[in-house]
Amino acid sequence: MTVPLLKVDNLAVEFGPKANPIRVVDGVSFEITAGGAVGIVGESGSGKSITSLSILRLISEPPGRIVQGRIEFNGVNLLELPRSKMPDIRGRDIAMIFQEPMSSLNPVMTIGDQIGEAIKLHEAMTGEERRARVIEMLRLVGIPDPAGRLDAYPHQFSGGMRQRVMIAMALACNPKLLIADEPTTALDVTIQAQVLDLMHKLRRTLNTAVLLISHDLGVIADVCERVVVMYAGRVVEEADIRSIFRTPQHPYTRGLLQSIPRLDDDRDRLYQIPGSVPLAGSVKKGCPFYERCSLRIEKCMNKMPPMFSFGPDQRAACWVTASQADAKEKEAALQ
Amino acid sequence: MTDPIIRVNDLGKTFGSGMRLSLAKQADEVRAVDGCSFEINRSETLALVGESGCGKSTLGRLLLRLIDATAGKVYFENTELTDLPAARMRDMRRHLQMIFQDPYGSLSPRRTIAQIIAEPLDVFGLVRSGRQRRERVADLMTQVGLSPSFMDRHPRQFSGGQRQRIGIARAIAVDPSFIVADEPVSALDVSVQAQIINLMQDLQKQKGFSFLFIAHDLAVVRHIADRVAVMYLGRIVEIGPKKQIYGMPQHPYTQALLSAAPEPDPDRKGKRIILEGDVPSPKRVPSGCSFHTRCPIRQDICGIERPPLREVAPGQLAACHFAKPFPIPRPTSSQAVPA
Amino acid sequence: MAVSIEHSELPSPSLAPEPRALSRLGYELFSRTSTMFAFAVVVIFVFVAVFAPLLAPYDPLAQSILKINRLPSADNWLGTDQFGRDVLSRMIYGSRNSLIFGLISPVLAAICGTVLGVVAGYFGGIIDRIISRLIDLLLAFPELLLAIMIAAVLGGGFWNVIAVITVAFVPGFARVARASTLAVKQEPYVEAAIAVGVRTPVIIFRHVIPNIAAPIVVLMTLWVASAIRLEASLSFLGIGTQPPNPSWGNIIRDGLNNLFGSPWPIIGAGFAITCVVLSFNLLGDAVRDVLDPEISE
């Protein structure tokens, strides 16, 4: 049994005053193996970004705080590390890229200096070596004429190019895990295709594990091997990529898959999930999807379902589909 | 046979071309929309698709004269809108309405839902008494799936999807014959987008207005469009019936757009046309065919001569010297999602 | 209608309750001791100004050769001035002038400034350029200097002083109004109103002004303090409230003649001005906190 690279176990994050906290992430668990690619998919308020920020302990305290759980990276619980040790982990072992390539780069520093700074922090190198490394990274992410662009400033790059620079910066120190929070959301479709293609290429060459946060199931399907579906701060389903798209077990996953417009279907109408996404932490008891669920039974209102196993690689938190699967299994056993 | 409600003739908009003292006059000009011509038929939905900066939103606003064109003409039922005096134009707005992208910004934060929805009714004197106004507002709220009991609330208390419903109610309040919807679902959560798309589709069927639906994503408009127009750098590069655009796109940019969108299907990873480079700045539109800098099938002529929109199949026009059908490979029914 | 049922949102019991602006104001006032103190000072100030005839022990104009330049005593708490007038009574009556000036000029200035600023910001172009240059011109002069200049031309007197202070304040309001209008004009809801067919004046009154009101109101509360201070300065310089009418400014001026005999008129009036100005400034901050949606939400 291999030790996973990253293991998040029963994580909970609260915001607001201690007396009346809002739990925006509750009982989230998942694992990433070395070189693996896991996607967290969810809508606004699902807690997916907070989960990713918690891993690097980037949640601003106050108002936020991690109230329970473990985040093990290579067997070390990051939540027990002294705060002063975290900067060593960030960038060197775990790197992160954000949605906004515009504001994530310092406008008054050259591209070369910014990537160089990331390297300088974690690796002892001479100026020459560092320069060569920066050029190599820029070439790797597909910036044309990398040596010539070293002294350019971020505003001289387009959005897609800036995201490439961000990726180069994140990968400069050969991290074992790359957390990408909506890396292509701000980009146009054709540019998104380029960036996704680049991520594939980098995974093949560098063998970096990827945790991809996105609301877009298409992007997730493209990059990931496993998927964690979050809704209102909880994991509602977790499975390998094929099971999620072929045999989704949580009604929310099913609804989501059916409601997204696709290029290749000729349905006259889209399937729709009624209602709106609940505010983070507004569901106090029972299944968070109860309000909008088409399969709901009375039990769902009062009792949060645990994660049931559906096959070796799939787990979902639903009372109804779990009992249906159970019944089916018994039937099969009888025959 | 065809009965166009909107006719657009060689429409253009250049920003920054006004009085200016600087010498770099030419360089500052942005050709947001350039030589667009098309028609929208009665009760038809035309989807306008393109990436950011292609001028699709500008084009939508030109049609409603929220900004003034610098070239070309727009006709609404044989009335030329482009040179109508301001007062007459305001009267025309009874027939021309708009749904906005940003459900958070497009509703005045200090006004109640009833006031927002009733505003067009008041402008055109369509309600006589306060009671009649409230009845009409309640009716409109029901039509868009909101409970009329929230009439006196303020927009900040509603979710994005609910706000977009309010925006739709405002647009249909005066029973317009033409509505422009500018990316109406792109700011919404995935699970709410389908609700709003279905709502607009049903309202359109029921009321029969014509619809210009602007989006950056071809998948979103698939269910709602009758015809699709694809824009690149201010120009329409391909326009045609939905079936042909999705099934047999002829312009290489349409083909790239269709194949670039990642499909929610793990078995179809990475089979796409990847365009090189970025969209050029609209300040420096390439010569000839504006797409030739990124085009996978370009030839020498493309940099010199601008291809006109020409008919490449019945009802389908493409602006490409080398337009040819390019069937998008589709596996047979990959849908295996249980209901 | 078949559509409505299918499209219905779920009944939303979780719709957030409407926050009341007034209750928030109340909360803001009493949650901080400094604002509570400021509020109390302002209430006392207004009370004194309104009931001056009942509170003042003497007629503020009554002169008496027998009581010239007295030190504070049980009869005259703050002593008397060079004409033998009771300083406390003059201060109490003087608060009326301060209150009237303090309120009328900022309100007038806010109205004029908002009109100018909104017109400049909304219509832009040549109108904007003319108004903006005019405002810049006025802003180039320190307000006190400007006030002295205008007063020198028009002479002293109640309405002239009000006109002077108003003109001195207009540019500030116009600037804020113009900047806010430029921001609000970019909001999608203004475009939405145009698209719906709303007329320009209605857009300005219904969609622009309510949304720029917050910074204007805040500026107004802050400038009540400045107006009181400016009136005192002008009166001190002899071009504000004309003697023998009392005002805090000319009490200080009269007191200067006898600074070393009895500093109490200066101390008393100076203290009153400081307290009231400080209080209005603190209140202005509290009002800003309530009205600013960034902070309150």
% of chain B at pLDDT higher than 90 = 39
Give the C-alpha distances (Å, rounded to integers) separating B161 from A181, B168, B195, C275: 24, 11, 8, 51
Residue C110 sits at the vertex; the CA angle it makes with C107 and C112, to the nearest 5 degrees, is 110
Mean local confidence (pLDDT), B80-100:
91
Residues C135, C116: contact at Cβ < 8 Å?
yes
Q: Is 70 exceeded by the pLDDT of residue A30? A: yes
Q: Is 60 exceeded by the pLDDT of residue C6? A: no
Mean local confidence (pLDDT), C208-224:
85
Q: Is 80 exceeded by the pLDDT of residue C18? A: no
> Could you report the predicted ipTM of this complex, rounded to two decimals?
0.81
Residues C236, C253: contact at Cβ < 8 Å?
yes
Lowest mean pLDDT among A275-279, B294-298, C191-195: A275-279
Phi and psi, residue C115, nearest 5°: -60, -50
- Higher-confidence residue: B82 or A326? B82
pLDDT of residue A93: 86
Facing residues of A308 across strands? A316
Residues B123, C197: contact at Cβ < 8 Å?
yes
C14 interface with A at CB cutoff 8 Å = yes
Tokens encoding B150? 């929230």
% of chain B at pLDDT higher than 70 = 91
Helix or strand holding residue C124 (H, E): none
Q: Is 90 exceeded by the pLDDT of residue A229? A: yes
pLDDT of residue A144: 78
Give the C-alpha distances (Å, rounded to integers) separating A116 from A141, A142, C20: 15, 17, 53
- What is the rounded end-to-end Cα distance, in angstroms, of chain C? 38
Which residues, including other chains, have CB under 8 Å from residue B21's CB and lie 6 or more apart? none
| Contacting partners of chain C (3+ CB pairs under 8 A) | A, B
How many interchain CB pairs under 8 A, A with B?
157
Q: Got the DSSP string for C237-285? A: TTSSSPTTS--HHHHHHHHHTTTTT--HHHHHHHHHHHHHHHHHHHHHH
| Most distant CA pair in chain B, distance | 68
pLDDT of residue C5: 37
Q: Is 50 exceeded by the pLDDT of residue C10? A: no
Mean local confidence (pLDDT), C255-275:
84
Tokens encoding A315? 């787990």
A291 interface with C at CB cutoff 8 Å = yes
Tokens encoding C54? 């009942």
Measured between beta carbons, the chain C residues lying within 8 angstroms of A276 are: 9-10, 12
pLDDT of residue B94: 92
Measured between beta carbons, the chain A residues lying within 8 angstroms of C8 are: 274
Q: What's the whole-model pTM score?
A: 0.81
Q: Which of A84, C286, A212, A42 is nearest to C295 (CA)?
A: C286
What's the rounded Cα separation, in Å, for the pair B229 and B238?
Answer: 6
Measured between beta carbons, the chain C residues lying within 8 angstroms of B101 are: 188
What's the rounded Cα separation, in Å, for the pair A302 and C5?
Answer: 27
pLDDT of residue B46: 95
C9 interface with A at CB cutoff 8 Å = yes
pLDDT of residue B269: 61
What's the rounded Cα separation, in Å, for the pair C98 and C227?
Answer: 8
Q: Which amino acid is at C229?
A: R
Nearest to B337 among A190, A197, A248 (CB): A248
Q: Is 50 exceeded by the pLDDT of residue B334? A: no
Nearest to B222 among A252, A263, A277 (CB): A263
Facing residues of B6 across strands? B40, B76
Residues B100, C188: contact at Cβ < 8 Å?
yes
Tokens encoding B25? 């006059």
B27 interface with A at CB cutoff 8 Å = no
Categorize the per-residue pLDDT at A199 as very low, low, confident or very high, splitting at 50, 70 and 90: confident
| Subunit contact C14:A279, Cβ cutoff 8 A | yes
Which residues, including other chains, have CB under 8 Å from residue A190's CB and lie 6 or more apart? B51, B256, B257, B260, B274, B275, B279, B294
Residues B36, B12: contact at Cβ < 8 Å?
yes
| Subunit contact B264:A260, Cβ cutoff 8 A | yes
B102 interface with C at CB cutoff 8 Å = yes
Measured between beta carbons, the chain A residues lying within 8 angstroms of C10 are: 274-276, 291-292
Burial label, C98 (beta-carbon count in 10 A; 0-12, 13-18, 19+)? buried
B222 to chain A: nearest residue by CA? A263
Mean local confidence (pLDDT), C183-188:
89
Mean local confidence (pLDDT), A39-50:
87
pLDDT of residue B28: 67
Q: Is 80 exceeded by the pLDDT of residue B270? A: no
- Higher-confidence residue: A251 or B3? A251
What's the rounded Cα separation, in Å, for the pair A96 and A110?
Answer: 20
* Stretch 217-276 of chain A: residues touching chain C, C-beta under 8 Å: 274-276
Q: Is 70 exceeded by the pLDDT of residue C107? A: yes
Q: Which of A188, A151, A255, A206 is nearest to A37 (CA)?
A: A206
C18 interface with A at CB cutoff 8 Å = no
Which residues, including other chains, have CB under 8 Å from residue A291's CB and lie 6 or more apart? A275, A278, C10
B246 to chain A: nearest residue by CA? A263
| Contacting partners of chain A (3+ CB pairs under 8 A) | B, C
Mean local confidence (pLDDT), A141-165:
82
* Stretch 189-218 of chain B: residues touching chain C, C-beta under 8 Å: 195, 198-199, 202-203, 206
Q: Compute CA C296 distance to the chain's CA centroid, rounded to the nearest angstrom.
A: 23
pLDDT of residue C121: 92
Q: Is 60 exceeded by the pLDDT of residue B330? A: no
Residues C78, C58: contact at Cβ < 8 Å?
no
Lowest mean pLDDT among A30-44, A123-137, A212-226: A123-137
Facing residues of A181 across strands? A213
Tokens encoding C259? 């600074």
How many CA atoms within 13 Å lie on the side-chain side of B284? 6
pLDDT of residue C14: 45
| Subunit contact C198:B105, Cβ cutoff 8 A | no
Q: Got the DSSP string for A145-187? A: SHHHHTT--GGGS-HHHHHHHHHHHHHTT--SEEEEESTTTTS
Tens of pLDDT, residue by residue over A287-318, are 888 888 888 888 888 888 888 888 888 989 88
pLDDT of residue C3: 37
Burial label, C297 (beta-carbon count in 10 A; 0-12, 13-18, 19+)? exposed
Residues A7, A76: contact at Cβ < 8 Å?
no
Measured between beta carbons, the chain C residues lying within 8 angstroms of B147 are: 8-9, 11-12
Left, alpha or beta for A230 (phi > 0: left; psi -120 to 50: alpha)? Answer: beta
What's the rounded Cα separation, in Å, for the pair C213 and C201?
Answer: 16
Which residues, including other chains, have CB under 8 Å from residue B56's CB and lie 6 or more apart? B48, B49, B50, B214, B216, B231
Q: Is 80 exceeded by the pLDDT of residue C297? A: no
pLDDT of residue C132: 92
What's the rounded Cα separation, in Å, for the pair A168 and A143?
Answer: 10
Which residues, including other chains, have CB under 8 Å from residue B22's CB and lie 6 or more apart? B28
Which residues, including other chains, have CB under 8 Å from residue C172's CB and lie 6 or more apart? C109, C113, C139, C219, C223
pLDDT of residue B203: 92
Tens of pLDDT, residue by residue over B280-314, are 877 778 888 989 888 888 888 888 888 988 898 88
Mean local confidence (pLDDT), C84-111:
87
Tens of pLDDT, residue by residue over B115-167, are 999 999 999 988 888 899 999 999 999 999 888 888 888 888 888 889 999 99
What's the rounded Cα separation, in Å, for the pair B194 and B220?
Answer: 9
Tens of pLDDT, residue by residue over B183-214, are 998 888 888 888 899 999 999 999 999 999 99
What's the rounded Cα separation, in Å, for the pair A57 and B206?
Answer: 52
Q: Is 80 exceeded by the pLDDT of residue C1? A: no
Lowest mean pLDDT among A140-154, A207-221, B155-169, C32-46: A140-154
* Stretch 77-116 of chain C: residues touching chain A, C-beta under 8 Å: none
